[in-house]
Amino acid sequence: MQFHYCPTPEATNTLSTAELRARFLIDGLFKPDAFTAHYTDLDRMIVGSAVPTGGPIALPACQETGTRTFLERREIGILNVGAEGLVRVGGTTHPLGHLDCLYVGQGEKDVLFVNGSSGKSEFYFVSTPAHARHPTALVRRSDVRTDPIGDPARANRRRINKLIHPDGVKSCQLVLGFTEFEPGSVWNTMPPHTHRRRSEIYLYFDLGDNVAFHFLGEPHATRHVVVRDREAVLSPSWSVHCGAGTGAYRFVWAMGGDNQTFADMDPVALSDLR
């Protein structure tokens, strides 16, 4: 497991392009027949993937968590961004189609990722510390109903699909979903905001050969990183997080922190961006 420590706002302003990418970008997530995990200092979120192209892959016990099992004091949200697959939790098997999501609560000991029969299953996950147990719950992509928001004239017409949240699948602190764009729209989270009480991780996917320009940093001193398909970006509570792609894409957002209120954000006026 690799550790990631985000720099301070002041230090971020001094970093080179390569240093920015090393501190804020996570690449190489989806490795065939491997479990990959990155431990961050963003509310102790762990982000990673499991790609069981051969045999099943078990959620391992990790020395870094200081516990006997991965979920002894944690919860996890799993989103399948590949072909249909299976996740076994204890004695129960959960089929996950493309963009289906599974929440697994604190205390579950045995979690197994299994490839399906119709292609390559690719499971993306985010895990946060947990203080209480909530039941395992499956969210089907087909069951999520959300109205579009944004303005086509501003190229940000999009749908925000909430999967793990207080009005849906319950968790201790993890909030997770994904955003997708209508044709001709490419701007995400615009106008931008910060989360003083929460941290966030983005996974950009379905980019194909396109790229996304992800903006970070303090509002008066923004920086950017170029992001490619299935790469993740870390967003500290003090940082803006918005971006634009050269074509259509989706992104997974996951948050941890003081609360689970989706609208708890500090807006940044476009006139204040530098």
Q: Output the CA–CA distances (angstroms, integers) from residue 26 to 203, 226, 235, in the order listed.
A: 9, 12, 12
Total domains in the fold of the chain = 2
Check residue 191 and give its pLDDT.
83
Sort strands 34-40 and 2-4 into parallel, antiparallel or unpaired.
Answer: parallel
185 shares a domain with 131:
no
Q: Are residues 81 and 166 in the same domain?
A: no
Give the model's pLDDT for residue 263.
Answer: 83
Nearest to 174 by CA among 35, 48, 74: 74
Last residue of a domain, one of 75, 108, 142: 142
CA distance 199 to 254: 8
Distance CA 111, CA 189 (A): 33
Contact 102, 126 (CB under 8 A): no
Residue 163 in contact with residue 79, Cβ under 8 Å? yes
**Encoding tokens for residue 27?**
């690449």
- Do you know the residue count of the chain? 274
Domain contains 117: yes
- Compute CA distances 183 → 141, 157, 265, whole Å: 20, 8, 27
Helix residue ranges, H only, 100-230: none
Same domain, 155 and 267: yes
Tell me: do 46 and 76 sit in the same domain.
Answer: yes
The CA angle 70-46-236, to the nearest 5 degrees, is 155
CATH number at residue 156: 2.60.120.10
Question: 158: exposed, middle or buried (C-beta count within 10 Å: 0-12, 13-18, 19+)?
Answer: buried
The SS3 assignment for 10 reads: helix
Q: Tell me, what amino acid is at 33?
A: D
Which pLDDT score is estimated for 108? Answer: 96
175 and 254 fall within a common domain? yes
Report the pLDDT value the prediction gives residue 92, as an integer from 0 to 100: 97
Instruction: Based on the fold, state whether residues 135 and 152 are members of the same structural domain.
Output: no
232: nearest Cα among 262, 199, 259: 199
Task: Give the pLDDT of residue 33.
Answer: 96
Residues 137 and 33 grouped into a single domain: yes
Q: What is the DSSP letter of 179?
A: E
User: Is 0.75 topped by the overall pTM?
Assistant: yes
**How much is the pLDDT for 262?**
84
- State whether 81 and 138 are in the same domain: yes
Q: Is 245 within a domain? A: yes
Give the pLDDT confidence score for residue 261 in this predicted structure.
87
Report the distance separating Cα 96 and Cα 102, nearest Å. Answer: 8
Its domain, for residue 157, covers 147-272
On whether both 49 and 133 belong to a single domain, the answer is yes
Mean pLDDT of successive 10-residue stretches along the chain, which has 274 residues: 94 97 97 96 97 95 92 98 97 96 97 91 98 96 90 93 94 97 92 91 97 97 98 97 95 94 88 93
Comparing C-alpha atoms, which of 179, 241, 196, 191 is closest to residue 214?
241
127 and 65 assigned to the same domain: yes
State how far the Cα of 272 lies from the Cα of 193, in Å rounded to an integer: 11
